[in-house]
């Protein structure tokens, strides 16, 4: 029998010297103490003289706030209804999500699905890219795509929310503002050269993601048939013939970096490109723009829910290169799911993420 893990909500702890975020409280005590105290010492918020008192205060605060053991329930509509669950996350394979979602919704809970089961709009599109039939076409039509920066108004009232794929999250955040502004020469096509850490392949063991295959190596995969491509097309408005996407496997644990090559029209300066992005993302908490001519790297975003975007532009030729970076496990998966949860429940969008 499948089971649900039920978590309570914990607020941050602040002892004056050090702040512990809500999502850290379930970590082992010694890990939190060492990590946060090291950060405070490095930042200057804590001195060596403060250390004994800070250690004692923080230990006592955490010991008083340790969460109970996770409650485990049968993954059945009866258990969902009896527990009064508001939202259920499905971090399951697509076929399992299709099996579980209808009964969970019928039990009165909303669903945030992290698989690819409900990301595309039609059963035919799903069958074409996932190479298997879709068993819940009615729910596929109802599902809301959960890219908050572009779908926030629809997320608010969604019963079934489909968390975006990692590659499309970075690609759409980088490309869509330029498409909307009409400054891309689509006849020249767009090339997206994307690289991901090994965790992007999931936990299922395979020869291609084993240590000996990945370390000291770099490889492309799913050429011209990656199932994340239709998500980019669906949300950017591009046609498949206008978008070339190739995914690569990096010998690192986590992180996605996408380098996107475009040709512009009617753009005379690099400042115009920056203006387009700032107009679109000025009020977005989790998109950070870099100064023109500078670009992000993986270290800038790992363990965060940010998407960092930078670019270079040559006005004479109209060539534009955009670099977008995210953590595939956070903004590309669990962090974005929490961001969507916050929207669904009417919470501050950054709750438990900043």
Is residue 345 within 8 Å of 86, Cβ to Cβ?
Answer: yes
Q: Please tell me whether residues 7 and 127 are part of one structural domain.
A: no
Q: Please tell me whether residues 151 and 221 are part of one structural domain.
A: no
Q: Please tell me whether residues 300 and 195 are part of one structural domain.
A: yes
Q: Please tell me whether residues 54 and 81 are part of one structural domain.
A: no
Provide the 8-state DSSP code for 256: E
The phi, psi pair for 74, rounded to 5°, reads: -60, 140
Would 351 be classed as within a structural domain? no
Q: Please tell me whether residues 301 and 205 are part of one structural domain.
A: yes
Last residue of one domain, picked from the residues 24, 40, 63: 63
Q: Please tell me whether residues 37 and 96 are part of one structural domain.
A: no
Q: Please tell me whether residues 23 and 107 are part of one structural domain.
A: no
Is residue 268 within 8 Å of 232, Cβ to Cβ?
Answer: no
Q: Residue 109: how many CB atoms within 10 A of its CB?
A: 19
Would 103 be classed as within a structural domain? yes
**Which string of DSSP letters, residue by residue, matches 50-101?**
GHHHHHHHHHHHHHTSPPPPPEEEESSHHHHHHHT-SEEEE-S-HHHHHHHH
Would 352 be classed as within a structural domain? no
Q: Please tell me whether residues 170 and 304 are part of one structural domain.
A: yes
Is residue 289 within 8 Å of 309, Cβ to Cβ?
Answer: yes
Is residue 185 within 8 Å of 240, Cβ to Cβ?
Answer: no
Q: Please tell me whether residues 190 and 52 are part of one structural domain.
A: no
Would 98 be classed as within a structural domain? yes
Q: Please tell me whether residues 107 and 177 are part of one structural domain.
A: no
CATH number (domain holding residue 292): 3.30.360.10
Would 354 be classed as within a structural domain? no
Last residue of one domain, picked from the residues 63, 79, 113: 63
Is residue 310 within 8 Å of 295, Cβ to Cβ?
Answer: yes
Residues of the domain holding 120:
71-164+333-345
**pLDDT for the residue numbered 209:** 81
- Is residue 305 classed as helix, strand or coil in its secondary structure? coil
Would 194 be classed as within a structural domain? yes
The tally of domains found in the chain comes to: 3
pLDDT tens for each residue of the chain, 354 residues long: 666 666 544 344 444 444 445 444 445 555 656 666 676 667 777 676 766 666 666 666 555 544 445 678 888 899 999 999 999 999 999 999 999 999 999 999 999 999 999 999 999 999 999 999 999 999 999 999 999 999 999 999 999 999 999 999 999 999 999 999 999 999 999 999 999 999 887 777 788 888 888 889 999 999 999 999 999 999 999 999 999 999 999 999 999 999 999 999 999 999 999 999 999 999 999 999 999 999 999 999 999 999 999 999 999 999 999 999 999 999 999 999 999 999 999 999 999 998
Of 344, 350, 351, 352, the residue nearest 163 (C-alpha): 344
Residues noted as catalytic:
166
Q: Is the pTM of this model over 0.75?
A: yes
Measured between alpha carbons, how far is 270 from 314 in angstroms, rounded to an integer?
A: 8
Of 88, 117, 119, the residue nearest 104 (C-alpha): 88
- Is residue 196 classed as helix, strand or coil in its secondary structure? strand
CATH number (domain holding residue 156): 3.40.50.720
Measured between alpha carbons, how far is 33 from 114 in angstroms, rounded to an integer?
A: 31
- The percent of the chain in helix, strand and coil, each rounded to the nearest 5, is 40, 20, 40
Q: Please tell me whether residues 232 and 315 are part of one structural domain.
A: yes
Would 24 be classed as within a structural domain? yes
Would 353 be classed as within a structural domain? no
Q: Residue 96: how many CB atoms within 10 A of its CB?
A: 16
Q: Please tell me whether residues 111 and 173 are part of one structural domain.
A: no
């Amino acid at each position: 029998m499948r089971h649900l893990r039920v978590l309570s909500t914990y607020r941050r702890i602040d002892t004056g010297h050090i702040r512990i975020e809500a999502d850290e409280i379930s970590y082992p005590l010694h890990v939190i103490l060492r990590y946060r105290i090291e950060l405070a010492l490095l930042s200057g918020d804590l001195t060596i003289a403060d250390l004994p008192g800070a250690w004692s205060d923080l230990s006592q605060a955490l010991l008083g706030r340790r969460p109970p053991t996770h409650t485990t329930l049968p993954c059945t509509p009866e258990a969902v209804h009896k527990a009064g669950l508001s939202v259920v996350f499905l971090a399951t394979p697509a076929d399992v999500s299709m099996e579980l979602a209808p009964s969970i919704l019928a039990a009165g809970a909303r669903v945030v699905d992290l698989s690819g089961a409900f990301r595309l709009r039609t059963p035919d599109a799903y069958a074409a890219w996932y190479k298997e039939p879709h068993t819940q076409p009615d729910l596929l039509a109802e599902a809301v795509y959960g890219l908050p920066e572009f779908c926030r108004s629809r997320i608010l009232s969604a019963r079934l929310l489909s968390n975006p794929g990692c590659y499309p999250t970075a690609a759409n955040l980088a490309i869509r503002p330029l498409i909307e502004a009409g400054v891309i020469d689509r006849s020249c096509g767009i090339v997206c050269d994307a690289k991901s850490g090994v965790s992007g392949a999931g936990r299922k063991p395979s020869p291609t993601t084993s240590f000996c295959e990945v370390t000291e190596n770099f490889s492309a995969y799913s050429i011209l048939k990656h199932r994340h491509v239709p998500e980019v097309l669906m949300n950017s408005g591009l046609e498949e013939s206008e978008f070339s996407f190739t995914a690569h496997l990096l010998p690192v644990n986590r992180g996605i970096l996408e380098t996107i090559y475009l040709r512009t029209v009617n753009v005379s300066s690099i400042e115009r490109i920056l203006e387009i992005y700032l107009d679109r993302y000025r009020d977005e908490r989790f998109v950070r723009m870099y100064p023109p001519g500078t670009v992000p790297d993986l270290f800038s975003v790992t363990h965060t829910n940010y998407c960092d975007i930078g670019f270079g532009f040559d006005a004479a030729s109209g060539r534009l290169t955009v670099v977008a970076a995210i953590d595939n496990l956070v903004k590309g998966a669990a962090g974005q799911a929490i961001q969507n949860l916050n929207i669904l429940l009417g919470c501050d969008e950054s709750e438990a993420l900043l």
